[in-house]
């Protein structure tokens, strides 16, 4: 029975391709918001092209991950987690940049508050996608306990995320001639990458453990 479950996890379905494409679309659709706040202007048509490009790339990436999983079994799951992670990053940094744009500030305590808000939205998105797609734990008997475990792992990730991002923005500061708003986005990206490994291990081996 264990072998059958493992085989099912490795089976590529149209749902995997579609879900990968949706996550790519989320990333591609929010990217122009980030670029605009970094003073990188683009037309609406280019924004559409970018969204379509990432949609296709994400779907292809999932397929490649499936092919590679024939050699390294866990790679398919890591690829899906990566696709969700990219979408989470877009949600995180997209909302962060929106708050920076609306407030006109990207420094100090306000930045930390904005980062917590944007990360909270990203965590919610992460729970839904990782539960139903990456780890396929849809038959949970105690969803409330599972969600609390997810929150615990994510809160630790949130702390790590905020500490890294805050340290880079407040302590290190913009490097070279990088503008303040651009550095805020760069810091958020670095923090998100650092936390991804922690989240994958926590979700797989504790929250969504089968």
The 10s digit of each residue's pLDDT in 55-77 is 999 999 999 999 999 888 888 99
Q: What are phi and psi of 35, to 5 degrees?
A: -65, -40
pLDDT digits (tens, 9 = 90+) for 6-57: 444 468 999 999 999 999 999 999 888 778 777 777 788 888 999 999 999 9
How far apart CA 172 and CA 165 sit, in angstroms, is 10
pLDDT of residue 10: 67
> Closest by alpha carbon to 192, among 101, 128, 115?
115
What mean pLDDT value characterizes the chain?
85
Residues 6+ apart with CB under 8 A from 170: 107, 108, 111
5, burial (CB in 10 Å: exposed 0-12, middle 13-18, buried 19+): exposed
Structure tokens at 96: 């962060």
pLDDT of residue 186: 85
CA 82, distance to chain mean position in Å, is 7
Could you tell me how many residues make up the chain? Answer: 210
The pLDDT of residue 142 is above 80: no
Radius of gyration over alpha carbons of the chain, in Å? Answer: 18
End-to-end CA distance of the chain: 13
pLDDT digits (tens, 9 = 90+) for 181-194: 788 888 888 887 88
Which of 26-30, 86-90, 140-144 has the weakest average pLDDT? 140-144
Band (80; pLDDT cuts 50, 70, 90) = very high
pLDDT of residue 64: 95
15, burial (CB in 10 Å: exposed 0-12, middle 13-18, buried 19+): exposed
Is this model's pTM higher than 0.85 or not?
no
pLDDT of residue 8: 46
Structure tokens at 194: 């650092």
């Amino acid at each position: 029975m264990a072998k059958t479950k493992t085989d099912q996890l490795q089976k590529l379905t149209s749902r995997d391709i579609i879900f990968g494409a949706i996550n790519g679309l989320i990333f591609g659709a929010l990217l122009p918001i980030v670029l605009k706040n970094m003073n990188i202007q683009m037309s609406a048509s280019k924004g559409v092209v970018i969204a379509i490009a990432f949609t296709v790339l994400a779907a292809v990436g999932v397929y490649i991950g499936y092919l590679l999983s024939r050699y390294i079994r866990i790679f398919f799951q890591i690829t899906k987690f990566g696709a969700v992670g990219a979408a989470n990053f877009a949600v995180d940094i997209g909302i962060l940049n929106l708050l920076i744009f609306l407030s006109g500030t990207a420094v100090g305590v306000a930045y930390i508050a904005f980062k917590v808000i944007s990360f909270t939205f990203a965590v919610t998105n992460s729970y839904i996608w990782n539960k139903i797609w990456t780890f396929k734990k849809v038959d949970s008997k105690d969803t409330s306990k599972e969600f609390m475990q997810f929150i615990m792992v994510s809160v630790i990730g949130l702390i790590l995320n905020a500490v890294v991002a805050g340290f880079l923005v407040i302590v290190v500061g913009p490097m070279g001639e990088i503008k303040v708003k651009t550095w805020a986005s760069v810091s958020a990206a670095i923090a998100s990458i650092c936390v991804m490994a922690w989240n994958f291990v926590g979700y797989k081996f504790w929250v969504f453990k089968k």
